[in-house]
């Protein structure tokens, strides 16, 4: 049954995970230490494995080769041959970050019920909980849903769809971004990251969604050097990446996830208004967030990308920019080095002069907004 019909069916039920709003979460171990599985990840992994057993994925990602390249950054590469032939094609213009939702195009109301992992809602009490069979309330609300990604690039690859039935376009606001941070917080693991791609930043579906998956390795961007720019009164620290092929900002906030969410979502809203493509990585259980800037799609459309890079068919979305690259050709996988990957990402990076202008605009807007509040 399609989700659009399921939520209108009297008595229909789906699994539900409830979370509590606030900063309380799991203590994070270092990348070298084994971490106990949170209730959220336990429920997600069991459901994901069950969908795998039922053959719902286009390929078995657990059998796809993966390696960490030698070098200072330690780029991660995965070979998924033929992935692009099985993925849904992009169905919108790549030069506009904001575009209206089009119900005639593919969207997540058209996926099957069996692709749902569980609904994700704020609970009525301070605790969290998982309920195997919960009422969908017969279409009276628009649920937040976590679905499998049928074309996964890593273990536990899922999609978060905020207010699924509202059919929101791919556009971040404070509430949707806070929901994504809550997913990272509930996972409570350094190895589970949440990502976002804007239109023009290699999102392939114009229906508001975030992605997430579990990978037991430190992402290159997570260990890249940074330079602090400013610490706000809310104790949110803003830095910029240095000595990394992609230019971007890093936001950290131990005191309040809500304050951190406010600063980052304000920055993304600004980029959306300015028609600047971007990608976001939510790391360290929601305490560290990377805002990455690129122009690869624009250069590709203008014919400004070298042919040998075009032939790789790599789409530099959030995972690629963060240092985990999905390669479609065995040749590229076998010949990949830190230098070849760095050169590719440098091709995607926003030029230095443009990045400095964007950074200046974001900082002035954030400080101005905070002073008014």
Phi and psi based region of residue 107 (left: phi greater than 0; alpha: psi -120 to 50; beta: remaining): beta
Q: Kindly state the tokens that stand for 3.
A: 């989700």
DSSP run (H or E) holding 368: helix 352-372
The b/e string for 95-112 (b: 16+ C-beta within 10 A; e otherwise) is eebeeeeeeeebbbbebe
Nearest alpha-carbon partner for 362 in 282, 275, 273, 270: 270
CB 3 within 8 A of CB 145: yes
Question: From the candidates 163, 174, 207, 209, which is the catalytic residue?
Answer: 209
| Cα-Cα-Cα-Cα dihedral sign, residues 44, 4, 144, 194 | positive
Residue 152 tokens, joined:
């996964």
Query: DSSP label at 294?
Result: B
Helix ranges (H only) for 70-172 are 83-86
Contact partners, residue 28, CB within 8 Å, separation at least 6: 35, 188, 189, 190, 284, 285, 287
Q: How far apart are CA 80 and CA 77, in angstroms?
A: 10
Annotation says 209 is catalytic: yes
Q: Pairing between strand 13-19 and 116-122?
A: parallel
CB 164 within 8 A of CB 210: no
CA 287 – CA 190 distance, rounded (Å):
10
SS3 365: helix
Known catalytic residues?
209
């Amino acid at each position: 049954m399609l989700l659009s019909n399921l939520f209108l069916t009297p008595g229909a039920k789906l699994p539900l995970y409830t979370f509590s709003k606030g900063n309380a979460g799991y203590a994070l171990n270092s990348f070298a230490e084994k971490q106990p599985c949170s209730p959220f990840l336990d429920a997600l992994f069991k459901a994901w494995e069950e969908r795998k057993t039922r053959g719902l994925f286009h390929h078995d990602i657990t059998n796809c080769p993966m390696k960490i390249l030698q070098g200072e950054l330690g780029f991660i590469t995965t070979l998924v041959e033929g992935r692009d032939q099985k993925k849904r094609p992009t169905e919108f213009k790549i030069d506009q970050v904001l575009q209206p939702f089009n119900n005639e195009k593919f969207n997540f109301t058209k996926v099957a019920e069996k692709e749902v992992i569980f609904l994700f809602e704020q609970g009525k009490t301070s605790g969290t909980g998982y309920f195997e069979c919960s009422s969908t309330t017969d279409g009276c609300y628009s649920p937040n849903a976590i679905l499998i990604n049928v074309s996964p690039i890593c273990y536990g690859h899922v999609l978060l769809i905020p207010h699924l039935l509202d059919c929101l376009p791919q556009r971040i606001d404070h509430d949707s971004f806070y929901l994504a941070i809550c997913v990272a917080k509930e996972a409570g693991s350094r190895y589970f990251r949440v990502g976002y791609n804007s239109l023009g930043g290699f999102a392939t579906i114009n229906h508001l969604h975030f992605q997430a998956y579990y990978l037991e390795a430190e992402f290159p961007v997570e260990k890249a050097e940074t330079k602090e720019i400013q610490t706000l009164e809310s104790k949110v620290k803003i830095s910029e990446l240095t000595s990394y092929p992609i230019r971007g900002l890093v936001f950290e906030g131990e005191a309040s996830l809500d304050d951190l969410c406010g600063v980052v979502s304000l920055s993304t809203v600004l980029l959306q208004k300015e028609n600047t493509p971007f990608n976001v990585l939510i790391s360290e259980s929601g305490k560290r967030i990377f805002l990455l800037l690129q122009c690869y799609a624009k250069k590709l459309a203008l014919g400004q990308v070298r042919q040998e890079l075009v032939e790789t068919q790599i789409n530099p979305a959030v995972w690629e920019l963060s240092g985990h690259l999905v390669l479609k050709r065995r040749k590229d996988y076998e010949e990949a080095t830190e230098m070849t990957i760095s050169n590719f990402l440098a091709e995607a990076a926003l030029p230095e002069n443009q990045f400095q202008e964007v950074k200046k605009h974001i900082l002035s807007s954030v400080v101005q907004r905070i002073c008014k509040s």
